[in-house]
A and B are shown apart, each in its own frame.
Chain A
């Protein structure tokens, strides 16, 4: 009856994750009680108000009843439909919550409860099943059953996502959940389903474009590779799936070119600045030295962003396109989204969640680096979290997460003996760097909370935090690029030629088996020497 026990451990993990999630939702949301604009919470409520009361045609259009300057809808249609659904329920419970125009800035205990529940429900229905699915489908390749529980737990308890969704208030779990499901179905070789799921993610939040290039390159690359074994037909199927999904999602807005244009225009507001607040990307970090807005025109900046992002994305995506394998695909998800985050135009600090979720998928292979990345990514949002009054949950979640990691990875110190000298040195340097970086995080957190900034530089700490995290992010990006290019190409090249539709998941298997054999051989040799 091992099955049953496994099941109960999974249920334990999930209920623990839910417990932590809900306890964060006791805290304030963004813009609580701050007239006249409030925050993301009010934005979501406002979208419910708009979608419930106005016909579909007017959702994205400025009118007397829909002032786009006041939290106008600027997410793709799927978000609008979701708001519509929530709005109907809200209207049923209490019509005041979504009354047109009069409900602006509505806040109450009951309403907060309702809004928190909508996130909770979305999480339970989409994100958590997605995480269970992806690590379940990879279970065979991992050696022990604990590692898979560990990955589920570390992914579900990632503080950044919990703090933003349940504290700050957003529905990132939906789009990220769809993305994870898409990756999981690609892992199981359901290409069409995977691409449809990814389209859903894309139609929920346009930020998912960060992940679009790896998906595109991987699917195109693997189809082209197998062009003689029905790859072309597969490509057509995928393309058809994508077009149909988009068509259905956008159907109400396709009646005229202007209306479609209007929606697209709402989704990509280039009129805003190069970055908002203080973001841990390259532009913000360099703004310490160069004042972008004074030196260059907006179009110039746009071009620069576009160019640098393209250059950043190229290495990883070209590699994936010509040597597609599922492992490379996972690395590429991180690398491309990081390139977007570091270089693209109008990045929000919350956008780090998108690369972060693809880092979570690498947890089985690089637990240490992923954990480090996830901690830093949460830290990079500290100024935002403090603004929302989420300092206490931030601190407790960070410590809980760290402790979880260390309790689940006792092996970190054990197998140092088995490693050769050079790997041992790498190991020690990695740990040392991590310790120094953690001390930095602690000091900066304390300084931000306790030390009042000098009067001339009110943004000192947020800026230092973003430069500090940006440095880390560049390091992580380089590391994961290195991983992508060194992932055992010899085997994957041979395998990839043979591997057709069903080959990919086997690939992971054979790799791990081979490394296992190599390991056991190594141990045997060592034992003999000792004797």
Chain B
């Protein structure tokens, strides 16, 4: 009905419309990076700290910013001065916005390659997303997949979380071969292929990190990339396991104080959602250290990798493992940002068209996941935009997937979902009404300013955890047929 390219152009034009809208601090972050990479020599990149938004992405991204800054000069040279912290001229805004729109074409290209039926709209906060990795593997070009993924890792190290899936998949399906029963043929081990992959990955990393090894700056670079000084949770709790953990802790401490089980002195002041990135300790439950989160996320990934290893059913199992890795890191990771949920939703959308069961999870997850991003765009002018976008994508997903899987609309539930799931999803409506209007009418915004945030993240984390478990069960039970004979 609507041509692909006109869709792409239309979405770009729509993004252009959002030019005067709210810019998050990420806007300043990227402007600062432009300035750093443009006006400083490479050896100072990871040491510069005039602005609080220091460069904390891998080198390729820095080079990418450097490339962008070559064009930025044409718009406004002022934005490329490191001293101009929080500089926001009209030309700067225009340039940044255009850079997002143009680099989004990479994403559009990825989607095109995948022949997707729909474009899942990423929410804009002046964020450059490169999600190039998935389609390449679908084309069976494993070598180039390795190359692209290694490159991607050097763009944005957050993708390290899903690296295990890539590693296992390439090892299992490229270095080794399967026999007709789907079992691994140990003898098919190909040392050449392993070396080939290794060379590619090492080459990419050398290219990226090489200059900094020569400069002997690796420790500094790593300390920038992995800032464990930040707290367990982001200012707004991402809807994951730790959100639940926090709320249980909070509940225990409140009831504990009421029942006078322990004295008030021990209770740290309740500033967990205080808005700033900071550390805090739990009051009743044991506090969490980075190591624990690392162990938990690894443990949560292992079964999925095992499933992938034992019964690889082509790309589908790979994408599932990828999603499960992303889920694991999202659930238990240290200082997880709520935007990371996109790493789950986008690969899920790739699966949704093929299988009904995946579609069910995708619908549930995309609705609740996108809703969980609402607090990010908290300014009032943006509220109608985010609501319209959510309604638009959700309705579109439901309508088109109901069509694809020939599922009818009924009065008791949304298509493809059970009644309880539907009720949960519709529960978002009263929640949003409360947090945007009801909270102010009740006059609680002075005494309990963070209650809506807390409610949102707890409500969403229930859904996300549910999805995670359901998806794990699905991946486990949905074995290929030949696997069941043994």
Contacts and interface: CB of A to CB of B under 8 A. Distances in A.
A12 B17 contact: no
Given A5-B409, A15-B395, A26 B20 contact: yes
B116 interface: no
B3 A407 contact: yes
B380 interface: yes
A399 B408 contact: no
B14 A20 contact: yes
A407 B9 CA distance: 13
Interface string B378-422: 001100110011011001101100110000111000000000000
Contacts of A20: 14, 17
B10 interface: yes
A403 B10 contact: yes
Interface string A150-166: 00000000000000000
A392 B392 contact: no
Interface string A387-399: 0000011011101
B2 interface: yes
A5 B409 CA distance: 7
A15 B410 contact: no
B344 to A, nearest CB: 24
Contact of A407 (B2, B16, B17, B409): B2
Contacts of B39: none
B6 interface: yes
Nearest to A9: B399
Interface string B329-352: 000000000000000000000000
Given A19-B385, A120-B384, A11 B391 contact: yes
B67 interface: no
Contacts of A15: 388, 391-392, 395
A11 B10 contact: no
Contacts of B14: 19-20, 23, 396, 400
Contacts of B190: none
Given A15-B392, A26-B21, A403 B9 contact: yes
A5 B395 CA distance: 10
A399 B395 CA distance: 25
B13 to A, nearest CB: 4
Nearest to B390: A15
A27 interface: yes
B140 to A, nearest CB: 33
A24 interface: yes
Contacts of B18: 23, 26
Q: Tell me whether chain A's interface is mostly helix, strand or loop, or mixed.
A: helix
Contact of A19 (B389, B399, B403): B389
Interface string A1-18: 100110011011001101
Interface in A364-407: 392-393, 395-397, 399-400, 403-404, 406-407
Nearest to B12: A396
B388 A26 contact: no
B19 interface: yes
Contact of B13 (A18, A25, A26, A400): A400
Contacts of A513: none
Nearest to B380: A113
B214 interface: no
Nearest to B21: A26
A27 B20 contact: yes
A22 interface: yes
Contacts of B192: none
B12 to A, nearest CB: 9
Interface residues of B, number: 31
B399 A406 contact: no
A15 B392 CA distance: 6
Contacts of B441: none
Contacts of B410: 1, 4
Contacts of A18: 384, 388
Given A9-B399, A12-B396, A19-B388, A399 B9 contact: yes
A149 to B, nearest CB: 10
Given A113-B381, A400-B10, A4 B392 contact: no
B384 A22 contact: yes
Contacts of B9: 399, 403
Q: Tell me whether chain B's interface is mostly helix, strand or loop, or mixed.
A: helix
A392 B6 contact: no
Interface string B358-395: 00000000000000000000001100110011011001
A4 B409 contact: yes
B1 interface: yes
A128 B174 CA distance: 56
B113 to A, nearest CB: 22
Given A18-B384, A18-B388, A407-B1, A1 B17 contact: no
Contacts of A400: 10, 13-14
B391 A406 contact: no
B486 to A, nearest CB: 43
B414 to A, nearest CB: 10
Contacts of A22: 384-385, 388
Contacts of A399: 9-10, 13
Contacts of B388: 15-16, 18-19, 22
Contacts of B381: 25-26, 109, 113, 116
A26 B17 contact: yes
A258 B13 CA distance: 53
A11 B403 CA distance: 16
Contacts of A12: 392, 395-396, 399
A11 to B, nearest CB: 6
B391 A1 contact: no
A397 B403 CA distance: 30
Interface string A95-119: 0000000000000011001001000
Contacts of A11: 391, 395
Nearest to A109: B381
For A15, A18, A399, which residue has the most chain B Cβ atoms within 10 angstroms?
A15
B117 to A, nearest CB: 15
For B17, B21, B384, B403, which residue has the most chain A Cβ atoms within 10 angstroms?
B17
A356 B320 CA distance: 52
A393 B17 contact: yes
Nearest to B20: A26
Nearest to A408: B1
A392 B380 contact: no
Contacts of B2: 407
B391 A392 contact: no
B274 to A, nearest CB: 24
A109 B379 CA distance: 11
A392 B399 contact: no
A5 B399 CA distance: 7
A120 B16 CA distance: 21
For B9, B14, B21, which residue has the most chain A Cβ atoms within 10 angstroms?
B14
B6 A23 contact: no
A39 B156 CA distance: 47
Contacts of A406: 6
B385 A1 contact: no
Given A23-B21, A27-B19, A396-B14, 9 more contacts: A1-B409, A15-B392, A19-B14, A22-B385, A23-B14, A23-B17, A26-B17, A26-B18, A407-B1
11 contacts: A4-B410, A19-B14, A19-B388, A20-B14, A23-B14, A23-B385, A26-B18, A395-B13, A397-B17, A407-B2, A407-B6
List the 6 closest A-B pairs by CB distance, nearest first: A4-B409, A396-B13, A19-B388, A23-B17, A22-B384, A26-B20
Interface of A: 1, 4-5, 8-9, 11-12, 15-16, 18-20, 22-27, 109-110, 113, 116, 120, 392-393, 395-397, 399-400, 403-404, 406-408
Interface of B: 1-3, 6, 9-10, 13-14, 16-21, 380-381, 384-385, 388-389, 391-392, 395-396, 398-399, 402-403, 408-410
